[in-house]
Amino acid sequence: MKRLRVLVVAGVLALGTAGAATAQAAPVPDAAATAACPAGEVFATDNTAVITDPSDPRLKTRLTRFDREVREIVHANGALTGRSTLLDGVFWSEEQKQTTYERSREFDVNGVNRDGLHHIAGVIAKRYHQESVLTFRCLPRGSAETDAVEIQADGVSVTRLRDALAADPEARERLGGGSVTLGGRLILIAPLTDLPLAQRFSQRLGVDWAKARVRYGDEEFVG
């Protein structure tokens, strides 16, 4: 999936002193959520088209075959698959100056280290002609490798996400967009430096930040 349309899009900003200081004020990640983290997460799709119509029938696919094929790739490379979650992504295309949409899946991957996760994502990107596939590994907040956060929160609809993105130029530019599960759970991955912005954006979506699940870790776009 293209960088501007990855299922959870992160801005590309250098880690500045002010940004780092602000990020440190964020809440400590939920202990239960952190403990439940798989070894790695892979966010991917088999879609290569730019979809701008929210009623496009391609957004109704359940990606069943894709789910099965990705699991086969993971197993063939010595890792184990856990839960696979169907996602509706809403993103801002700066090039087209409009909202784009994508149906995707998040895969929990276990029994894998950093290099193994990178390799698996690379295989998926090549097989499905994706410009990049996003991975996320949960890490301690103070780890030298921690450069991102994953925010999950219930009670967010695709429509609300679309409207909030359209109304927030800063979020469009720096966060790019986000995704929700079919059950209305927001999943947003952002650079650690953009955590304050991600928090404000989430609250505009109606998220109770005290109930949001915040995981710290390492993100990578693998092409």
The whole-number average pLDDT for the span 142-159 is 96
Q: pLDDT value at position 123?
A: 98
Q: pLDDT value at position 82?
A: 96
Q: pLDDT value at position 31?
A: 54
**Dihedral sign, CA of 197, 37, 89, 164?**
negative
Q: pLDDT value at position 36?
A: 77
The 10s digit of each residue's pLDDT in 66-81 is 999 999 999 999 999 9
Q: pLDDT value at position 21?
A: 35
The whole-number average pLDDT for the span 199-217 is 96
Q: Give one DSSP letter per residue of the chain, joined into a string.
A: --GGGSSS--------HHHHHHHTTSPPPPHHHHHT--SEEEEE-S--S-B--TT-GGGG---HHHHHHHHHHHHHTT-EEEEEEEEEEEEEETTTTEEEEEEEEEEEEES--HHHHHHHHHHHHHHTT-S-EEEEEE--TT-TT--EEEEEEES--HHHHHHHHHT-HHHHHHT-EEEEETTSEEEEEEEGGGHHHHHHHHHHTT--GGG-EEEEEEEEEE-
Spell out the domain ranges in the chain: 3-7+29-49+59-222
The 10s digit of each residue's pLDDT in 84-137 is 999 999 998 888 888 999 999 999 999 999 999 999 999 999 999 999 999 999
| Mean of the per-residue pLDDT values of the chain | 87
Q: pLDDT value at position 32?
A: 53
The 10s digit of each residue's pLDDT in 166-197 is 999 999 999 999 999 999 999 999 999 999 99
Q: pLDDT value at position 33?
A: 53
Q: pLDDT value at position 3?
A: 38
Contact between 178 and 161 under an 8 Å Cβ cutoff? The reply is yes
* pTM recorded for the entire structure: 0.85
130, two tokens:
């994706």
pLDDT for 7 beyond 50: no
CA–CA dist 158, 179 (Å, integer) = 8
